[in-house]
């Protein structure tokens, strides 16, 4: 890495770290706890998360750029290099050239090997690199998953148009990766597949990605939750040259939408449509769509890559509105 490029990276690290340090307590809490729980208007939510988005985009570019740079562990590398030179020199002199080495040589060389990285660490340059490395590690650990900007932010933009300016929106978002726990399987212990893979363990995950609720312009109330239930099976195939392993995932992603429409504004048109549940109260029509979706592979669980839910949510809401007509129409 050239001197100019290195200085640019150093400056970028400091700038990103300063942006994080200048966040409000609520913004810091979101990043550090990887969770959003609160009640604000959509406009306030967008204002709150806009700086987070700018920070996260800059942070992603920075972390990718400096992932493998050597200066991050320079003190340790100096020590390792010294140990390597010591071992090779000893092997050459005593093993091949059969030259006896005084004990004082070992003591002196090992002293240099130990002291050199320490001296570098306490030097001004070493302290600077250590500080930058600490900041970079913190930046690497404070990250927003892709679904936050691909799904949550567009939902907030839409709700800003569909809700009154000061109407509160209850929002909960889990930005962390799903956690698995052990559980009983429908398959018996020791189950063997047709390809001779033995079932070793089974784990499960129940994870709520996000949910929100609020009142729309027309007086309707919307509540939406997106969650998943996942099963992970771990298989081993025993072979002479080593075992082969594989994981199998069964993931069901569910969109649960409840829409309450006021009878003063809408009239229900009964139909044979089985895609939703319908109930009514004295003052409202209550619709609910619970839509499960099977997900192939493990990318969502392993990489926190939630499939796009925006189109499905909007499609379900639109479908519910086709079941009613305005009272004054």
Asked if residue 318 and residue 250 are part of one domain, the reply reads yes
Can you tell me the mean pLDDT for 162-177?
91
Please report whether residue 288 resides in a domain. yes
Q: Do residues 172 and 210 make contact, with C-beta atoms less than 8 angstroms apart?
A: yes
User: Does the pLDDT at position 171 exceed 60?
Assistant: yes
Domain extent, residue 161, equals: 145-326
Asked if residue 227 and residue 112 are part of one domain, the reply reads no
| 177 band by pLDDT with thresholds 50, 70 and 90 | confident
Tally the domains of the chain: 2
Asked if residue 234 and residue 104 are part of one domain, the reply reads no
Please report whether residue 56 resides in a domain. no
Please report whether residue 43 resides in a domain. no
| 134 band by pLDDT with thresholds 50, 70 and 90 | low
User: Does the pLDDT at position 48 exceed 80?
Assistant: yes
Can you tell me the mean pLDDT for 199-208?
90
Between 113 and 308, the more confident residue is: 308
- What pLDDT was estimated at residue 1? 45
Asked if residue 165 and residue 78 are part of one domain, the reply reads no
pTM of the model: 0.73
User: Residue 20: which residues within 8 A CB-CB, separation 6 or more?
Assistant: 28, 31, 55, 138, 139, 142
In this structure, what DSSP letter does residue 94 have? I
Q: Do residues 117 and 79 make contact, with C-beta atoms less than 8 angstroms apart?
A: yes
**SS in 3 state form for 140-202?**
HHCCCCHHHHHHHHHHHHHHHHHCCCCCCEEEEEECCCCCCEECCCCCCCCCECCCCCEEEEE
Structural domain ending residue among the three candidates 111, 144, 177: 144
Q: Do residues 149 and 210 make contact, with C-beta atoms less than 8 angstroms apart?
A: no
Asked if residue 198 and residue 138 are part of one domain, the reply reads no
Asked if residue 264 and residue 306 are part of one domain, the reply reads yes
Asked if residue 248 and residue 173 are part of one domain, the reply reads yes
Residues linked to residue 289 through DSSP beta bridges, in sequence order: 257
pLDDT in tens, 204-229: 989 999 999 999 999 999 999 999 99
Structural domain ending residue among the three candidates 144, 172, 191: 144
Asked if residue 294 and residue 263 are part of one domain, the reply reads yes
In this structure, what DSSP letter does residue 304 have? -
Share the mean pLDDT of the chain. 79
Please report whether residue 234 resides in a domain. yes
Can you tell me the mean pLDDT for 160-178?
91
| 72 band by pLDDT with thresholds 50, 70 and 90 | very low
User: Does the pLDDT at position 4 exceed 70?
Assistant: no
- What pLDDT was estimated at residue 189? 75
Between 318 and 309, the more confident residue is: 318
User: Which range has highest mean pLDDT (131-140, 152-161, 179-188)?
Assistant: 152-161
- What pLDDT was estimated at residue 275? 92
């Amino acid at each position: 890495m050239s001197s100019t490029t290195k200085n640019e990276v150093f400056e970028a690290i400091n700038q990103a770290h300063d942006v994080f340090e200048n966040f409000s307590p609520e913004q810091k809490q979101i990043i550090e706890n990887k969770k959003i729980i609160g009640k604000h208007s959509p406009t306030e939510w967008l204002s709150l998360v806009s700086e987070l988005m700018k920070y996260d985009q800059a942070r992603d570019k920075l972390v990718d750029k400096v992932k493998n740079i050597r200066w991050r562990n320079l003190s340790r590398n100096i020590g390792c290099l010294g140990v390597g030179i010591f071992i090779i020199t000893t092997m050459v002199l005593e093993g091949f050239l059969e030259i006896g080495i005084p004990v004082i040589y070992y003591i002196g060389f090992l002293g240099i090997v130990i002291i050199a990285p320490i001296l570098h660490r306490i030097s001004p340059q070493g302290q600077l690199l250590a500080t930058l490395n600490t900041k970079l590690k913190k930046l690497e650990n404070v990250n927003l998953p892709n679904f936050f900007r691909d799904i949550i932010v567009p939902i907030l933009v839409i709700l800003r148009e569909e809700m009154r300016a000061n109407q509160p929106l209850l929002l909960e978002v889990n930005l962390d990766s799903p956690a698995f726990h052990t559980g009983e399987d429908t398959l018996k212990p020791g189950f063997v597949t047709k390809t001779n893979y033995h079932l070793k363990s089974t784990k499960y995950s129940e994870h709520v990605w996000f949910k929100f609720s609020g009142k729309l312009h027309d007086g309707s109330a919307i509540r939406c939750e997106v969650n998943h239930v996942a099963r992970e099976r771990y298989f081993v195939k025993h072979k002479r040259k080593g075992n082969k392993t594989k994981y199998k995932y069964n993931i069901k992603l569910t969109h649960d939408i409840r829409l309450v429409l006021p009878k003063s504004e809408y009239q229900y048109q009964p139909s044979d449509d089985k895609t939703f549940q319908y109930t009514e109260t004295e003052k409202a029509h209550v619709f609910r769509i619970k839509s499960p979706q099977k997900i192939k592979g493990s990318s969502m669980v392993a990489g926190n890559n939630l499939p796009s839910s925006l189109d499905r949510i909007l499609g379900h809401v639109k479908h519910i509105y086709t079941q009613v007509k305005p009272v004054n129409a």
